[in-house]
Amino acid sequence: MKILVAECMQEVSSFNPLPSEYADFTVERNSAFVRNPGLNTSLAGALAVFDQNADVEVVPTISARAGSGGVLSAAGWAQLSSEWLAELAPHAGKVDALYVSLHGAMGAQGEPDPEGHLLEQIRHLFGATIPIVVSLDLHGILTNRMLHQIDGLTIYHTYPHVDFADTGRRAATLLLDIIRRGLRPVIVRVRVPMLARGDECITKTGWFGDVIADAQLLERSGKVLAAGVMIGNPFTDAPELCTQALVVAESDADLARGAATALAEAMWAGRQRLVGKLVPVAKAVALAASMPGPILFTDAADATSSGASGDSNVLIKALQEAGYPGRVLAQIVDPAAARAAHAAGVGAQVNVTLGGVYDPARFTPMVVTATVESLSRGRARLETMGVPLDAGPTAVLSFGNMTVVTMSHTVSLFDRAMYYANGLDPTDFDLIVVKSPHTEFHMYDQWVRKNFNVDAPGATSANLKTLGHRLCARPMYPLDADVSFAPVPELHSRRGTLPEGPNR
């Protein structure tokens, strides 16, 4: 059998004023994107399953991946979508099924549901009967438009995410089962009017993890084909943003309804725990100064992996103004400062402004006289996934007790890769700033004395009420005070007759 494989992935923050562009995407065509099968990605996981089946011929078409950022520009979306669909179109009528790796939290100017558009066009091109299975990030937003085009889906089960490849493996297995066993999957969704953020979202230790364990038990017991909970990306302001409990079952609509309802009710029961617990900036600085290090400052508000601009200097400035005595290691995106450092050379002193490049409404540029400690091309590989990072010309600048990795482009900073790639070991410092809501436990939390999740401004702040949602349905917890929830299972199937009823 011939299985077409394609990928389109980006997560955006609607509150980042800097739009993403087509140039931010790494686009690989045909066999180019199947050459690294060992990566921890959904695509690699799916390919590993297909490769183990001698009767499967993979038809690779196109992979388009971009780091998180602002909403994709209209021109960027027009180019990306047209090129992406043009790679798939010649295979219409020539393949037996499709696997599509998506994120679920894309956004473009003039198109609030890019993944829905792509799936809709795929269904139009390839017909009503061909099986389509997708994999999605649990921070995605499954829209009606998406749901109506697919036969099945799998969702990440971990946060911080470490099961990329496993999610792809589950998707590929589900797709093969639909084809070989003639399955007639039903998908049940229960939408919950809540947005989740904070430490209780960590699946290894938090409330969300207990709910996901129930979903995994459903899968492992063989009662359902797939199950999970999508908590959405609270920074992608879209009409269908919410939490969604999802169950895919073989024909048994009643089982799927009951299982999805139970997952949704468990999420609602933990809603007060699934709110970010933040420490004001001044208090965090004062506490850090009063205790021995190492200390971690989590700057989730400027998390580039969640779609922020990366140019926040708020914590650097606060630590400097308070006279924090320890050695500080931080990150920032400032192409002009990086460019000035490269022009001056290692060992030179440069007078630059730092921060506030893309989001000046939130961050005021600060003037510094810094020493250029080292220069690099800004290349690294993520510790968890192994995929490459390219931050462009990068400089390590020092001034006073501050050491700042200054990058030209945003990249995901949810591990230590960019520090290591520039010759810096976080364990050598008294206070480290990480622009990510969470990292894997061993990376920082295992050895730091205290991790302060700081209530700084930014396009991805866990203080959700400060962001200014305009599009998502209201009321929505915790944006609104009075929110009620009564589960309504929504039943969907493309491969069989659904029973009559109000939730058909």
pLDDT at 357 exceeding the cut of 70: yes
313-333, pLDDT tens digit by residue?
A: 999 999 999 999 999 999 999
Question: To the nearest whole percent, how much of the chain has pLDDT over 90?
Answer: 95
Query: Using alpha carbons only, how large is the chain's radius of gyration in Å?
Result: 23
- Which pLDDT belongs to residue 496? 60
Cα–Cα distance between 94 and 96 in angstroms, integer? 7
Sign of CA dihedral 50, 54, 59, 62: positive
Mean pLDDT score, 93-111: 97
CA distances to 26, 244, 340 from 360, in Å: 28, 35, 20
Cis peptide before 393 (omega within 30 of 0): no
Distance CA 215, CA 252 (A): 16
Is the pLDDT reported for residue 291 higher than 60?
A: yes
* Domain boundary assignment for the chain: 2-274+486-492, 279-462
Measured CA to CA, the distance from residue 469 to residue 473 in angstroms comes to 9
Q: How do residues 116-134 score in pLDDT, each as one tens digit? A: 999 999 999 999 999 999 9
- Residues 36-48: pLDDT tens digits? 778 899 999 999 9
The answer to whether 428 and 452 have CB atoms below 8 angstroms apart is no
Mean pLDDT (whole number) for 299-318? 97
Q: Is the pLDDT of residue 28 over 50?
A: yes
Spatial strand order in the sheet of 97-102: 25-29, 57-66, 2-9, 97-102, 132-136, 152-155
Q: What is the mean pLDDT of residues 102-109?
A: 97
Please state whether the predicted TM-score (pTM) of the whole model is above 0.85.
yes
The C-alpha atoms of residue 172 and residue 48 are separated, in whole angstroms, by: 9
Q: Are 193 and 186 in contact (CB under 8 A)?
A: no
Instruction: Work out the mean pLDDT of the chain and round it to a whole number.
Output: 95
Q: Is the pLDDT of residue 499 over 50?
A: no
Q: How many helices (H) and strands (E) does the chain have?
A: 11, 23
Q: What is the pLDDT of residues 401-435, one digit of tens each?
A: 999 999 999 999 999 999 999 999 999 999 999 99
Strands 279-280 and 328-333: unpaired
pLDDT digits (tens, 9 = 90+) for 217-267: 999 999 999 999 999 999 999 999 999 999 999 989 999 999 999 999 999
pLDDT at 92: 98
